[in-house]
């Protein structure tokens, strides 16, 4: 390399070991394989339907009525097809309002829309403007997110991106199709989060004891979380219908699914991220303590790990509370605005479900801290003793 020139490859792979690079390549290969694996439910879609981007070029609002926040009637819109074999063609379609703010959408001239086109040979049978076209802005947001990770983290940022996409693909391509086929959701969710924990923690920590300690702590913590959720869901008298679209799932032809067990699986899946985070924090801190003080005793290392766990638990449990309550902010505002008593609020299905999810997830966090500390003490100390014995000889 010429003097004065930066070796960008060495900057990108700074502190990255060869085995970690190989492991990352394996995860990348798995992501590619998962991307092309069919879910098995593609054939449930209507045949002969193309999904393309369109641009609204004309709008007829003569049948459109607005009563405060409620929309009724319909729009007649002309849409120019921007992709596919019908590119450049103007198709006319209707946009009917249901009177529901979460489902109704109003189109204006210049809006981009996701257009569903049903064809019969070389003839367009009908077209439907499904919704506003958001794929482009979603892709832009993901690219910005990935660029920031790569810029700040280098190779470790690349590993974070890998773990992000591997998690999304595993849940979408493996876990959800398996649930739809009737496999027990609780067992399936635990297996899924265990696999994800192994992949993510070894990507972050590397293939070493630090990753093993974090994985053991996270897996045991998630197992306890699963048992806690299973034990307390029945006394709470909660069924899975409290989740959005759960009841719709039954009407869609999956009548044999157990919504309550799906709810419990969701509790475990939701808590897994925080559990992995806490186990990794404690494992990394204990590893750093041992590397800086190789002669530390097992008791002191255990106490140090416990102190670290106590410091992190408070913020992590609050993180779970804020994450879950944020999704139900409008519901809580409605309860307060209507003057509903606290006893009634706490007994409502939706509120009880959030309490169960938050407390059970937090319980898993409280337990994963001492479990990870114990695992770290058992795995880190033998290495020190072996090194000390070698030096004495």
pLDDT value of residue 390: 39
What's the mean pLDDT in 97-104? 81
Output DSSP code: residue 46. P
Average pLDDT over residues 321-344: 83
Mean pLDDT of 316-325: 78
Distance CA 182, CA 114 (A): 32
CB 206 within 8 A of CB 268: no
Token pair for residue 130? 């499904």
Distances (CA, A) of 20 to 199, 202, 207, 380: 11, 8, 7, 20
DSSP 75-95: EEEEEEE-SSTTTT-EEEEEE
- pLDDT above 90 for 366: no
What is the rounded CA–CA span in Å between residue 80 and residue 58?
9
99 with 72: CB under 8 angstroms?
yes
User: Residue 324's pLDDT is what?
Assistant: 76
Residue 296 pLDDT: 82
Q: Do 86 and 52 form a contact (C-beta atoms < 8 A)? A: yes
pLDDT for position 214 = 92
Distance CA 175, CA 189 (A): 7
* DSSP state for residue 42 in the 8-state scheme: G
153 Cβ contact list (under 8 Å, min separation 6): 159, 160
Which pLDDT belongs to residue 139?
94
Q: Is the pLDDT of residue 386 over 50?
A: no
pLDDT in tens, 169-179: 999 999 999 99
- pLDDT tens-digit map of 122-162: 788 788 888 899 999 999 999 999 999 888 888 888 888 99
| Cβ pair 321, 358 in contact under 8 A | yes
pLDDT at 41 over 90: no
Backbone phi, then psi, for 69, in 5-degree steps?
-95, -5
3-state secondary structure of 112: strand
The tokens describing 278, both together, are 């806490």
Q: Tell me: pLDDT of 120 over 60.
A: yes
pLDDT at position 98: 83
Q: How far is CA 10 from CA 16, 205, 235, in A?
A: 9, 19, 57
Q: What are phi and psi of 239, to 5 degrees?
A: -115, 165
Averaged pLDDT of the chain: 84
Q: Which residues contact 52 (CB under 8 A, 6 or more apart)?
A: 81, 82, 83, 84, 86, 87, 114, 115, 117
Render pLDDT for 249-299 as a digit per residue (tens, 0 to 9).
888 888 888 888 999 999 899 888 888 988 998 999 999 888 888 888 888
- What's the pLDDT at 7? 52
Contacts of 84 (CB under 8 A, 6+ apart): 50, 52, 117
What's the pLDDT band for 14 if we cut at 50, 70, 90? low
What is the model's pLDDT at position 168?
A: 93
**Residue 213 scores a pLDDT above 80:** yes
244 has pLDDT over 90: no
Is pLDDT at 392 greater than 70 in this prediction?
no
Domains annotated for the chain, with CATH where assigned, are: 47-133 (2.40.50), 182-392 (1.20.1640)
């Amino acid at each position: 390399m010429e003097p004065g020139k930066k070796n960008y490859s060495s900057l990108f792979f700074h502190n990255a070991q060869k085995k970690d690079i190989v492991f990352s390549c394996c995860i990348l290969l798995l992501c590619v394989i998962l991307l092309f694996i069919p879910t098995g439910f593609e054939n449930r879609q209507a045949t002969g339907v193309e999904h393309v981007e369109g641009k609204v070029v004309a709008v007829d609002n003569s049948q459109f009525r607005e009563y405060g926040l409620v929309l009724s009637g319909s729009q007649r819109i002309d849409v120019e097809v921007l992709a596919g074999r019908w590119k450049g063609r103007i198709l006319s379609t209707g946009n009917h309002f249901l009177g529901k703010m979460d489902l109704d959408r109003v189109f204006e001239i210049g809006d981009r829309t996701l257009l569903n086109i049903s064809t019969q040979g070389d003839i367009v049978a009908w077209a439907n403007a499904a919704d506003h076209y958001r794929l482009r802005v979603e892709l832009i947001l993901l690219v910005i997110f990935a660029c920031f990770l790569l810029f700040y983290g280098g190779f470790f940022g690349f590993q974070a991106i890998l773990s992000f996409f591997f998690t999304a693909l595993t849940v979408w391509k493996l876990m959800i199709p398996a649930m739809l086929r009737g496999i027990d959701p609780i067992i399936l969710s635990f297996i899924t989060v265990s696999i994800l924990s192994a992949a993510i923690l070894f990507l972050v920590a590397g293939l070493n004891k630090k990753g093993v300690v974090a994985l053991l702590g996270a897996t045991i913590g998630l197992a306890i979380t699963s048992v806690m959720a299973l034990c307390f869901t029945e006394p709470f008298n909660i069924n899975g219908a409290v989740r959005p679209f759960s009841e719709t799932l039954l009407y869609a032809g999956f009548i044999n699914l157990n919504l309550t067990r799906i709810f419990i699986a969701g509790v475990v899946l939701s808590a897994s991220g925080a559990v992995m985070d806490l186990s990794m924090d404690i494992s990394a801190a204990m590893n750093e303590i041992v590397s800086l003080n190789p002669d530390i005793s097992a008791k002191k290392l255990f106490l140090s790990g416990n102190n670290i766990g106590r410091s992190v638990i408070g913020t992590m449990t609050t993180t779970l509370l804020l994450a879950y309550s944020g999704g139900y902010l409008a519901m809580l505002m409605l309860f307060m605005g209507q003057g509903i008593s606290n006893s009634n609020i706490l007994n409502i299905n939706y509120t009880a479900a959030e309490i169960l999810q938050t407390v059970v997830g937090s319980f898993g966090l409280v337990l994963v801290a001492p479990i990870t500390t114990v695992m770290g003490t058992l795995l880190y100390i033998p290495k020190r003793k072996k090194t000390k014995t070698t030096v004495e000889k």
